[in-house]
A = this chain, B = another copy of it.
Amino acid sequence: MLIIAETKRVLKNFMHTHPEMGTLEMEGNQNHSETDFAIRIGGEGGEGVISAGELFAQVAARTAYQVFTYITYPAEIKGGFSMIQIRIKHEKIYSMGSTVDYLIAFNQQAYDVTIKDLKPGGTLIYDPDEVEIKEDLNAECYPIKLTKLVVDATGAKLGKNVVALGALGHLFGVEFGVLEKLIKDRYGAKGGDVIKNNLNALKAGYFTAEEGNWEKKFKLVSDTQAKEHYMLISGNEAVALGAIAAGCRFVAGYPITPATPIFETLTDLMPKVGGRAIQLEDEIASLSACIGASFAGEKAITPTSGPGLQLMGEQLNLASMLELPLVIVDVQRGGPSTGLPTKTEQSDLKFAIYGTSGEAPRVILAPSSVEDCFYQTIRAFNISERLQMPVVVLTDQSIGYRKATVRMPDLSKIIEVDNSVSGETISIPSPEKIELASRIQMDPEKLNEYKRFLDTATGVSPITSPGLKGGQYLGGGLEHDETGKASYLPDNHLKMMRKRFKKLETLTHILEKNPPEYEGPEEAKIGVIGWGSTEGAIREARMLAEQRGILFRHLHPKILSPLPESQVRNFLAGLKQVIIVEENFTGQFAHFVKAKFGIKPIEIHKSEGVPITPEEIFTGIEKVARIVDEKNIARL
């Protein structure tokens, strides 16, 4: 039943590019300047599918290639369908792609669910004791008895994933020693038997592939320089690192999928940099503690996901009213309610913008890639310190669990912005210039007439922190006057509402000064707007579309609220049709944009718990392109 691939199209793409950065030796003597392929491993939750994939990604990341992973797994600890996809490319990768070149199926479910995504002529590796394959499959098929091999090698069933890792390693020409070291690094702490069994499993896989004469693709040789220049990190890790880089030294949190890894990473890192990480009894307490820490003068963060964000609503309001800086990261998951905890969705935007009783300003950011998670988190801290308000960073499961090679930030480019004297200027840092804003501090000379909530031109007021003599003030959730004293007078309420919302205008004015952020040609008549983790997929859809002669512009705002209005208007100018792409059911960003700009976009929603693919977006856009064309014809 072993079917030989019709074409070797895929193989042709493997090549050796940046020789200065590492060695990747081709087996097939072909030389192409482009490499781009994807491997998927699928099996049952608890079989270690994901950890095997991540180890393999680690090997790949230490070559000259870029790596990008996508993970999905069930909400149960064991059982259910789990998979990891690893895309490897010679240049920056923007999405997980729409299809895969290699599929490793641990069981029938993995085969059934994902075989449709295997490219014609791709490679299938499968356990013949578990998986029955279709007769007419157009693929190069390698059977490998994962369970049998691991039982033979270790006497137990655990470790199929390591067998698979061994086989994969061989297929891609990884030296056995490199794999051996990986295993030792990962399982070293668990001691003797665990290590021994894992190494036996690894050998079984590696040599089965060797003995089966699996056609070697190319050699992934590890590269020390790549290690210096790149990190292979997940979006969640990027957020945690962004917080550390931004000078945050306080995290309070409560575990919740898929945000937990941010908190886990920070509990590990905080003490290393002299910061404090505290797990609390729930999300309400977590945000309360951040408010306390911020009141005391510290930069504070709490990571969460939908159900937790909801519980934080009342405290989010309080932070806005106290005008305290702090950052909340919401790694969105499938909703509503407990929903699909391990699946992705962009469905908390409405809550982030509108989700408090009364009207309390805050800023919403949405990073668009793993790397962007790092920079937007820094930006979130800067904005929150400068505007004295909570900033919500919206990521999602797909970006949070995605791993990608990220260029090491240039620390020499960090500029500490001391803003203790004047609160009037606020600029936004960018990856090119990492700015770190400190808290706008009160001039101690002026403490005589100190008004904590002074209504200034920007809306931003001087602030003191405990320890500063004479700076004592009352911050409270009741409506108050400029000094902080409670006041329920009609005029005062209106004045203070204006003051607090003025800060959003201040930010908008600054954002307007930035160069336009959209991509794609001026002459395009179609505009696509997306936000957050879909950026890469839309970008690839744009390339697909260009190949077919369809041009579109792509706006992907990183700051979702307040929107830089004139920038959006710039983007909209001259467009015949706007398409808004989101991973939710009701079109949340579209709703917001419609209310603000009075446009009537076509909305592409995906509400299935899995990321939208470039193909899906392209298909939608192609349809729109036809309509726009017809309109053009009709008008001529």
A-side interface residues toward B, CB under 8 Å? 74-75, 80, 305-307, 309-311, 313-314, 317-318, 320-321, 330, 332, 334-343, 345, 347-348, 350-351, 353-360, 476-479, 486, 488, 490-491, 493-494, 497, 501, 584-586, 588, 591-592, 594-595, 598, 600, 607-610
Contacts and interface: CB of A to CB of B under 8 A. Distances in A.
Which A-B residue pairs are the 6 nearest by beta carbons? A335-B358, A306-B357, A336-B358, A490-B608, A337-B477, A336-B360
A329 to B, nearest CB: 14
Q: Tell me the number of copies of this protein.
A: 2
Nearest to A351: B357
Contact of A358 (B317, B320, B339): B339
A355 to B, nearest CB: 5
A282 to B, nearest CB: 10
A330 B359 CA distance: 15
Task: From A305, A477, A600, name the one whose CB has the most chain B CB atoms within 10 angstroms.
Answer: A477
Nearest to A310: B313
Contacts of A354: 350-351, 353-355
B310 A314 contact: yes
A603 B354 CA distance: 19
Contacts of A343: 488, 493
B340 A357 contact: no
Contacts of A488: 74-75, 80, 334, 340, 342-343, 609
Contacts of A310: 313-314, 317, 355-357
A608 B355 contact: no
9 contacts: A314-B337, A330-B357, A334-B479, A336-B358, A338-B478, A348-B357, A351-B355, A354-B355, A592-B595
Given A75-B486, A598-B594, A340 B607 contact: no
A313 B355 CA distance: 9
A356 B317 CA distance: 15
Task: From A74, A321, A358, A592, name the one whose CB has the most chain B CB atoms within 10 angstroms.
Answer: A358
A326 to B, nearest CB: 15
Nearest to A488: B340
A433 to B, nearest CB: 34
Given A321-B336, A337-B360, 6 more contacts: A317-B336, A334-B479, A336-B356, A336-B360, A359-B586, A491-B608
Contact of A610 (B340, B341, B353, B490): B490
A334 B489 CA distance: 11
Given A354-B351, A607-B497, A337 B359 contact: no
Contacts of A359: 335-336, 347, 584-586, 588, 607
A232 B115 CA distance: 71
A317 B335 contact: yes
A315 to B, nearest CB: 9
Nearest to A283: B314
A355 B311 CA distance: 11
A187 B598 CA distance: 59
A592 B586 CA distance: 13
A313 to B, nearest CB: 4
A75 B357 contact: no
B476 A338 contact: yes
A335 B357 contact: yes
A45 to B, nearest CB: 11
A90 to B, nearest CB: 31
Contact of A609 (B341, B357, B493): B493
Contacts of A330: 357
Given A497-B585, A594-B598, A337 B317 contact: yes
A584 B497 CA distance: 10
Contact of A357 (B307, B491, B591): B307
Contacts of A341: 478
Contacts of A342: 488
A9 to B, nearest CB: 28
Nearest to A357: B306
Contacts of A337: 314, 317-318, 320-321, 358, 360, 477-478
A320 B336 contact: yes
